[in-house]
Amino acid sequence: MADSRRNADPRRALRELIRAADRALPERRAAIQAAIARAAECAGVSVTALRDYALAPRQYDFDGLAGCVVRRRSRVTGTLAGLYQAEQAGMDADAGRWVTVCEDHSTCVNHATLAHGRAHMGDPSMWCEVCRDVHNETGKSS
């Protein structure tokens, strides 16, 4: 059986290691801190820099756009859809931290989770009125 941690996100693994060191019993803490120091040395950075990297919120900038997680053209409508982290992109995050945007029609919809936002990217006609109208009228892209 394959190890489920093999494909784990390195940032997440490092974050778990740092948190384990913070929670560890004193006799175990030194060994974990030594492992963190070795990781920092291998990366060529200080332990503080490694800790800051692991514990800081991820910065999204796909295509050089602030807060952009990903952008892709929809196979259903042919329009460009983007997924953004609302606060990093300067958008309203009150309705949800993640925002799916129809780039062609400037329509946005907020989501509570990144996974929910990704699920909505494939078919903008489900949440963009212009895409829906054009898609229903012509059955083709807008």
| 125 lies in some domain | yes
Are 48 and 77 members of one domain? no
How far is Cα 17 from Cα 51, in angstroms, rounded to an integer?
10
Length of the chain, in residues: 142
pLDDT (tens, 9 = 90+) of the chain, 142 residues, equals 445 555 557 778 888 888 888 898 988 998 988 988 988 898 888 888 888 888 878 889 898 999 999 999 998 889 999 999 999 999 999 999 999 999 999 999 999 999 999 999 999 999 999 999 988 887 654 5
Same domain, 93 and 41: no
pLDDT at 1: 42
Q: Give the predicted TM-score (pTM) of the model.
A: 0.66
Q: Which whole-number Å values give the CA distances from 20 to 28, 41, 43, 58, 96, in the listed order?
A: 10, 19, 20, 20, 30
Residues 96, 80 share a domain = yes
Same domain, 76 and 98: yes
| 77 and 115 part of one domain | yes
Distance CA 10, CA 26 (A): 25
DSSP symbol at 98: E
Query: Does residue 129 share a domain with residue 88?
Result: yes
Residues 98 and 118 in one domain: yes
Q: Are 129 and 66 within 8 A, CB to CB? A: no
pLDDT at position 2: 47
Provide the pLDDT for residue 119: 94
